[in-house]
Structure 1
Amino acid sequence: MVEHLDITTNPRKLADMIALDAQEGHGWAPSELATIFKHQLASPLLVDLCDFDPVGAEEARMLALRSEPPITSFTDLLTHAEPPVGLLDQVKKLAKAMMNHLDSVMPRELAVTLYYLAIANAMVKAETRLSSLSDGELKQGLVWAASQSWLDEDYRATLSAAAVKLDSK
């Protein structure tokens, strides 16, 4: 269950916050991070989104259930050929809240990666930008997320494709 948080953050503060130092100790082995991330992605999307944002719960339900095929998990959303931008935006906000929350059950690296995956999916699959970060700040985060050794190759490819889109502007 995710506590509803105020996630309004200026882009500079967000960029500084998500510029993770590779030497920063987190206590998790890459194999453990991979397992935790896969577990999160397999979990019911609507449960987390509705707990996080009860006001947006009905919109999330509608978008998830009207998708073809219907979206029931984070994996379904992030691997969907045409993911609803509204759901991607809600996942981005949820991940941002988890990054900001010191007591989040999700390791910070995973929350940051989920944040960038939502943004990357919107860029690559829906030609929509969900971030107010500068191109340079956004690319830095996308490249960082794509470099995580525990991340599946398909997700890495989406992150890399979004970074390339920024280069081609």
Structure 2
Amino acid sequence: MNDREIFDSQAISLAQIMTWGESNEEVWKPDELGAIFKHQLSAPLQVDFSNLSHPHMRRIQSLCLTASPPIESFADLLHHPRPPVELLEMTKEFAKICRSHAECRLPDEIATMLYTLSIAVALTKCNRRITKLDRQGLGYTFGWALSQSWLDPSTRELLEHGSQAIDREGPAADV
């Protein structure tokens, strides 16, 4: 499957995403994942997208530059007061691509966390549902993410808000 096919694909079940490349041995320790995640959040967002020859680079650049305040990193996007939904959708798709490409050197846990966070932020800050996962699937997704010991407090708070949003009558799926 090429980048375009993955980007355009229907929602993949979280169970399938979580088992890609699964092995019985632990590759990364929690403190290492925490450091990698912190680095990933601070890395320039446009650089990561361009490393995978993202098909919408010009649009990504435009969204990052026209946001107020401008978005330079994944942390800027996730903690933005009014994040562009389109950029959250692209981040979710970027994370899916990272799970299936050897050239993307993100650990699976980090890619899955970006996937989950983009969904949580879209739900809570944009009142938009950018996934076809049902309530049970979203509950499982947020439960997995919240169980990660390496999360920083502000990221955990984003996920908690996302988890609370699925417990209320939430927005209909936009995808």
Q: State the TM-score bracket (shorter-chain normalisation).
A: 0.7 to 0.9
Distance 1:83 1:120 in 2: 12
Percent sequence identity is 37
Alpha-carbon shift at residue 26 of structure 1 (Å): 2.7
Distance 2:24 2:134 in 1: 25
The answer to whether the 8 Å contact 1:4/1:51 transfers is no
Distance 2:101 2:51 in 1: 15
Distance 2:43 2:94 in 1: 14
Corresponding position of 1:14 = 13
The answer to whether the 8 Å contact 1:98/1:106 transfers is yes
Alpha-carbon shift at residue 163 of structure 1 (Å): 1.3
Alignment of 1:11-160 (within 5 A): 11=11, 13-19=12-18, 24-102=24-102, 104-160=104-160
Deviations 1:4-43 (A, max 9, x none): 36315554x52222446xx953321111001111111111
| CA root-mean-square deviation | 2.2
Distance 1:127 1:113 in 2: 20
Distance 1:103 1:4 in 2: 12
Distance 1:161 1:142 in 2: 10
The answer to whether the 8 Å contact 2:4/2:55 transfers is no
The answer to whether the 8 Å contact 2:142/2:162 transfers is yes
The AA in structure 2 aligned to 1:17 is: Q
What's the TM-score once normalised by structure 1's chain length?
A: 0.87
SS of the equivalent of 1:55 reads coil
Q: How many equivalent pairs are there?
A: 165
The answer to whether the 8 Å contact 1:49/1:90 transfers is no
Distance 1:75 1:65 in 2: 15
Instruction: Pick closer, same or farther for the CA change 1:164–1:86 going to 2, 3 Å.
Output: same
Distance 2:53 2:134 in 1: 27
Distance 2:16 2:64 in 1: 30
Distance 1:103 1:57 in 2: 18
Instruction: Pick closer, same or farther for the CA change 1:104–1:52 going to 2, 3 Å.
Output: closer
Deviations 1:20-79 (A, max 9, x none): 6xx953321111001111111111101122343543111111111011111011111111
| Consecutive unaligned residues in structure 1, runs of 5 or more | none
